[in-house]
Amino acid sequence: MTLGVVYHMPMWVGPDGRLRELEGSFARYVDSLAPYFDEVSLCVPVRRDPPGEGSAIRSPNVTLAPLPAFDGPVQFYPRLGAVLPRLWRWMRRVDVLHCRVPSPAAVFAFAVARLLRRPAFLLVVGDLEAALPVMPYRGIKRVLWRAYTWFEERSIRWMVRRSLTFANGPALAAKHGKSVRPVHETITTTIGERDIGTRTDTCTGARIRALTVSRIDRRKGLRALPAVVRLLVDAGIDLHLDIVGPPVGRPGEAERAAILDGAHRAGVADRVVFAGAMPLDRLMTLYGDYDLFVLPTLPGEGVPRVLLEAMSAGLPIVVTRVAGIPGLVVHESNGLLVEPEDPRALAAAMERIVRDAPLRRLLIAEAYTTARHCTLEAQAARMMDKVSRTLHIGMRCAQKSVS
């Protein structure tokens, strides 16, 4: 049984012959599905110029069906004529199709799968429509992006009506659950059982180390962070913030420059550091060096996987109340929720964590409980049980329901 997976995550073949990708979240997701199939074939863009060390896929039964390299729809659609024949040839040897969406190639692969009568299932991981107001484009670029968003949203709805669908978090499940088919809520995750930490407290030293892990683009709300750092320093907290993650194209580079400029103007340039992209295996060990985690993201998310990573490492978290995040983070239980685009609220929540030790220890303990329920092993077992039962597919692993 061969599972074909379509996504837009760029990959490359490392010097050791392993398939690699920059962030590691997709690699771990693929590894979690691999035990259930004889082969997992990835139909993804392939880079000739690896941007760094990357994170490797460990499973030996994962193969590559390369697409021409593209960073987004602007590069993808001019190559569509070359992509379609590849999708047709690839789908002829695939038994089951899995599409992570939004993703430019997904609807075309799905259409081919229907023509060839191949079963398919979806995982909806983001909401382009909700992110439209904060996209940085102007003029013709904004018009083109709105057109792409319109097409992608309708494509996803068309696929949802015709396939088994999972959605990342309650907001996306509710949005797409209006289909004639039920949509099953899940939480995308990168943590394994071995990643769950044991520390019970943070913020015990004179210097407070805060961490943000995020792609750098306008949708992540990172421009608020210099003002947050300034407010905390003025409150007498010796706080330093590291931002881990790559800029997303030219808009991401512009966003990074704007954040740095904001840090200079706020007088905290020495306290805000961009650490760049980092392989996930290294990042998972890095979480333990910090005192708290903050993510000021804006609408358009499902549930960011970095929240579970921070929870598993014993980091108390402050995050905005947008999209599917309240489905994972319960205010004053396993994290603190604030409204988006409010630096004062972010700073107040972070100060509360620093100064209130009983609350901090409670958040850490409850976050561990959440993380244990949301491991890769548990997620894959629940999803593959549903896929096997609904699509009537025999898999390599014997399935047991996971509550």
Residues 110 and 245 in one domain: no
Residues 199 and 298 in one domain: yes
For residue 84, the domain's CATH number is 3.40.50.2000
Q: Does residue 215 have a pLDDT over 50? A: yes
Residues 357 and 231 in one domain: yes
Q: Confirm whether 403 is domain-assigned.
A: no
Mean pLDDT along residues 212-223? 93
Residues 142 and 283 in one domain: no
DSSP secondary structure string for all residues of 179-219? SSS-EEEE------GGG---------SSEEEEEEE--BSGG
Residues 142 and 226 in one domain: no
For position 402, what pLDDT does the model report? 35
Residues 218 and 71 in one domain: no
The 10s digit of each residue's pLDDT in 72-88 is 888 899 999 999 999 99
The 10s digit of each residue's pLDDT in 311-320 is 999 999 999 9
For position 203, what pLDDT does the model report? 97
Widest CA span in the chain: 65
3-state SS of 362-378 is HHHHHHHHHHHHCCHHH
Residues 262 and 147 in one domain: no
Residues 255 and 174 in one domain: no
Q: Does residue 399 have a pLDDT over 50? A: no
For position 266, what pLDDT does the model report? 97
Residues 102 and 73 in one domain: yes
Distance CA 387, CA 253 (A): 40
Residues 347 and 199 in one domain: yes
Residues 40 and 137 in one domain: yes
The 10s digit of each residue's pLDDT in 39-65 is 999 999 998 887 778 899 999 999 999
- Cβ contact 98:121 at 8 Å: yes
Give me the percent of the chain exceeding a pLDDT of 90. 77
For position 71, what pLDDT does the model report? 78
- Cβ contact 199:114 at 8 Å: no
Q: Confirm whether 400 is domain-assigned.
A: no
Residues 344 and 385 in one domain: no
- 392 phi-psi bin (left φ>0, alpha ψ -120 to 50, beta other): left
Q: Does residue 398 have a pLDDT over 50? A: no
Distance CA 95, CA 393 (A): 9
Domain that includes residue 319, residue range = 193-373
When computed from its CA atoms, the radius of gyration of the chain, rounded to whole angstroms, is 21
